[in-house]
């Protein structure tokens, strides 16, 4: 692989013995190498939330970074769900404190030290799944009778409330806000658990569930309905928004808001190809939340 020659994370960390070997499959990638011991357990747990049986042809090699890294290149800011993250791009290599990331269509290299933040770790592993061809969906996903729909929209648009109301009509929760889609196979797997709702939404639509639901740090109540595991065939996408009859351009924007902007060149190429497939093959529309519930009930 050409990327081998240019991989220069700084070599093994001298004097650092607190490392663990890791080797696991995660969605479309096969991960192996060494990571700081402080990261090993969380990394393995976060990226093996369920086994989906997808071909894992993309290899991710992990290695230890010695600190401090020689940071250089173009300063960039990645917009992520955890807010903006500052990195440096040097050709195909992206670096930040505790992280060095290089992706290609065939495989990726991730250098880590204990200084890496959870947000950067999430960014790196999201990028490698993207480079392997998957799309992360920022959407609630529900399934019933062979029909699986993604419900997307900005925070506060009512994705979780729509999901709660549809659960009462025989729909099963696949994901609250985070799923992975293989756009070639058209199959999707939920990647988060729980349903977080404002107390007033729960009181209005499912008051019988209010008593047993714990409260999270943002004051939302957390429900844990059984999740439908395994890959599901995605049959449609709905975007919660006030615009009644969106143009094609607005649908393109909505799809990119659902999948997020990739960072590395390989992830960008693969994601663009995936979005092209979605635009051509997946039924999608903008819809009002109450109308969506009426339609799918």
Partner 1 sequence: MDSPAYAPHADVLVTDLQTELVLLHTTSSEMYSLNEVARTIWTRLPATRAELLALLLERYEVAPTQAEQDLSALMADLQRLNMVQEH
Instruction: Write out the residues near partner 1 by the rule CB under 8 A.
Output: 79, 248-249, 252-253, 255-256, 261, 268, 271-272, 275-276, 279-280
Half-sphere exposure of 222 (CA within 13 A, CB side): 10
Please name which of 103, 30, 114 lies closest in space to residue 69, comparing C-alpha atoms.
114
Using CA atoms, how far apart are residues 31 and 114, in angstroms rounded to an integer? Answer: 18
Are the C-beta atoms of 137 and 258 separated by less than 8 Å? yes
204/253 with CB nearer partner 1: 253
What minimum distance in Å lies between the beta carbon of 273 and partner 1?
Answer: 9
CA distance 38 to 127: 22
Least separation, in Å, of the C-beta of 250 and partner 1? 9
In whole angstroms, the minimum distance from the beta carbon of 297 to partner 1 comes to 32
| Cβ closest to partner 1, residue 184 vs residue 210 | 184
- CB nearer partner 1, residue 77 or residue 224: 77
Provide the 3-class DSSP secondary structure of residue 90.
Answer: strand
Q: Closest separation between CB of residue 154 and partner 1, Å?
A: 13
DSSP-assigned beta bridge partners for residue 288? none
Residue 95 vs 227, nearer CB to partner 1: 95
- Distance, in Å, from the CA atom of 274 to the CA atom of 146, rounded to the nearest integer, reads 22
């Amino acid at each position: 692989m050409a990327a081998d020659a240019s991989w220069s994370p700084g070599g093994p960390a001298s004097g650092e013995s607190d490392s663990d070997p890791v080797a696991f499959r995660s969605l479309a990638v096969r991960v192996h190498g060494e990571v700081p011991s402080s990261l090993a357990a969380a990394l393995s747990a976060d990226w093996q939330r369920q086994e989906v049986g997808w071909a894992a042809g993309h290899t991710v090699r992990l290695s230890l970074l010695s600190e401090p890294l020689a940071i250089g290149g173009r300063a960039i800011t990645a917009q992520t769900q955890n807010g903006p993250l500052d990195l440096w791009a040097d050709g195909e290599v992206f670096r930040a404190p505790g992280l060095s990331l290089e992706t290609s269509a065939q495989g990726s290299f991730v250098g880590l030290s204990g200084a890496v933040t959870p947000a950067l770790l999430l960014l790196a592993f999201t990028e490698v799944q993207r480079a392997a061809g998957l799309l992360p969906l920022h959407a609630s996903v529900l399934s019933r009778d062979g029909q699986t729909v993604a419900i997307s929209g900005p925070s506060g648009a009512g994705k979780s409330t729509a999901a709660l109301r549809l659960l009462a009509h025989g729909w099963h929760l696949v994901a609250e806000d985070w799923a992975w889609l293989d756009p070639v196979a058209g199959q999707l797997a939920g990647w988060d658990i729980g349903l977080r709702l404002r107390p007033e939404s729960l009181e209005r639509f499912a008051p019988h569930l209010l008593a047993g639901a714990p409260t999270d740090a943002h004051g939302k109540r957390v429900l844990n309905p059984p999740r439908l595991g395994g890959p599901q065939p995605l049959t449609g996408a709905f975007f919660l928004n006030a615009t009644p009859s969106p143009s094609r351009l607005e649908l393109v924007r909505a799809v990119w808001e659902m999948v997020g902007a990739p960072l590395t060149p390989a992830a960008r190429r693969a994601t663009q190809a995936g979005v092209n497939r979605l635009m051509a093959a997946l039924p999608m529309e903008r819809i009002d939340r109450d109308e969506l519930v009426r339609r799918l009930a």
